[in-house]
Amino acid sequence: MTIKAYIFDAYGTLFDVHSVMEELETLFPEKGEAISQTWRRKQVEYFFLRQVMGRYKPFDQVTKDSLLYAVNESGQSADESRLEHMLESYRQLKHYDEVEDVLKELQGKELIVFSNGSENMLHPLMTFSGLESLFTSTISADEIKQYKPSPAAYAYALEKAGVKREEVLFMSSNGWDISGAKSFGFHTAWINRNNLPTEELQLEPDAVYEDLRGILQW
């Protein structure tokens, strides 16, 4: 088996979505962690719901909506300026420690980012992080308005990559994303950063690593 394209999820996989926690804590004292956790949980739930209901809205809107829900749930109040401030912070998430080294080791191969993030969120993030030049290309599910884990989203990434389905190694820290990619027919490496159980969906990942260094075995 030859892997011709390495496709990486962005949020949670390359970037730590909870690196905004301190910023949240400043704006919403003593609620930073709770808001950060609910924000991410609802953001992902809203991807799923909008996909199932057939009511696509882009990532920046969903990310703002889910933050508003999280702030409301915490008992705080969210004015427009604080929501916008946090969306701006979401364009400056920290990447995980090992990411840069792993990408440097893989130079010369086709390295692709494929994310639910819309261009107006993902592009600033890739630029700010300094990772952009280490990738061959960045693909957004927003280009076809179909969120992962729908088969249509992975099919689009595959078409853009221009390789065969079985020549893809797909990396994500999100169990639902790995399940979707495996269901579609990619080889999958689950970056299980939080030491969670495997999803019980009869779609086991081909490999499980605690961080991205594991993929250097491929």
Q: List interacting residues with its own copies (CB under 8 A).
A: 42, 45-46, 48-55, 65-66, 68-69, 72-73, 147, 149-151, 176, 179-180, 183, 196-201, 203
Please, which residue, 110 or 177, has the CB nearer to its own copies? Answer: 177
The least CB distance from residue 76 to its own copies, in Å, is 11
> Is 9 labeled as catalytic in the residue annotation?
yes
Identify whether the C-beta of residue 24 lies closer than 8 Å to the C-beta of residue 17: no
How many CB atoms neighbour CB 13 within 10 A?
A: 25
What are the helix and strand counts (H, E) for the chain? 8, 8
Please, which residue, 89 or 146, has the CB nearer to its own copies? Answer: 146
> From residue 48, how far is each of 41, 45, 107, 124, 137 by CA, in Å?
11, 5, 34, 25, 25
Using CB atoms within 10 A of its CB, is residue 197 exposed (0-12), middle (13-18) or buried (19+)?
Answer: exposed
Sign of CA dihedral 191, 195, 199, 205: positive
Q: Which amino acid is at 176?
A: W
Please, which residue, 15 or 147, has the CB nearer to its own copies? Answer: 147
Identify whether the C-beta of residue 59 lies closer than 8 Å to the C-beta of residue 174: no
Tell me which residue of 163, 188, 190, 161 sits closest to 174, measured CA to CA: 190
The least CB distance from residue 163 to its own copies, in Å, is 22
The least CB distance from residue 130 to its own copies, in Å, is 33
The least CB distance from residue 104 to its own copies, in Å, is 34
The least CB distance from residue 69 to its own copies, in Å, is 5
What six digits make up the tokens of 135? Answer: 């990738």
Catalytic residues: 9
